Amino acid sequence: MILEIEVDRAAWNEISDPAPELNAAAQATETALGVDLSDTVLTISLLTDDAVAELNRQWRNKAGPTNVLSFPAAKDMPLPPGEPRPLGDIMLSAGVVKREAQQQNKSLEHHLVHLAVHGILHLMGYDHINEAEADEMERLEVDILNALGIANPYT
C-alpha cells in the first residue's frame, strides 16, 4: 500500500513524524486481513478539530469533530494505466484524539495507530453498526495492535 500522509503541523506538533506509526498500522492491517494492497494508495490526513467538524457536518450531518472519519474510494473509478487504485481517505482530529489518549491513559502514538487501524478496517468494509460486526471489528483491531506490541485498547 502506498501511504500518503498530510499533517496540519500546528495541530499535531506533539508527534514529530507520524509516518512510521501510520505505515506500521497500514502494513499490520494488510497482513492481518491477508490481502495484497500493494497496488492501492491510502491518504491519511491529520487535521484540526475544526476541519474534521466541517467534514462531519458535510458528510454525516453530525455536529462537532469526531476522532476518525473514513471515506472509501469508489471501486469502479476509472484510472489511467499503471495508476494505483485509491483505497480511500482517513481523517483524524487532533484535539479529539489527544483528549481521548489522555483520558484513556494511552500514549498519543498508540492511540493514533489504533484509530488508523480502525479507519483502514472501515475502508476495507468492516463496520460496527450491529453487535456482531462490532465484535468482529474489535477482535481484528486487538489482534492487529497486539502484533504491533500495543495493548488492547478496550480493556
What is the DSSP annotation of 68-81? EEEEEPPTT----T
Q: Provide the sign of the torsion angle of the four alpha carbons 102, 106, 109, 112, taken in this order.
A: negative
- What are the angstrom distances between the C-alpha of 134 and each of 78, 100, 127, 137? 32, 20, 7, 5
CATH code for the domain defined by 2-147: 3.40.390.30
Pairing assessment for the beta strands 2-7 and 40-47 based on DSSP bridges: parallel
Distance in angstroms (rounded) separating the CA atoms of residues 155 and 112:
17
| pLDDT at residue 155 is higher than 90 | no
Distance in angstroms (rounded) separating the CA atoms of residues 134 and 3:
26
pLDDT of residue 77: 85
* For residues 112-118, average pLDDT: 98
pTM for this prediction: 0.95
Domain ranges for the chain: 2-147
| pLDDT at residue 22 is higher than 90 | yes
Residue carrying C-alpha cell 465484535: 135
pLDDT of residue 58: 97
Cell numbers for 127: 463496520
pLDDT of residue 69: 98
* For residues 113-137, average pLDDT: 95
Mean pLDDT for the chain?
96
Closest CA to 6 of 89, 112, 120, 79: 89
Split at pLDDT 50, 70, 90, the class of 63 is very high
| pLDDT at residue 113 is higher than 90 | yes
* For residues 40-61, average pLDDT: 97
| pLDDT at residue 76 is higher than 90 | no
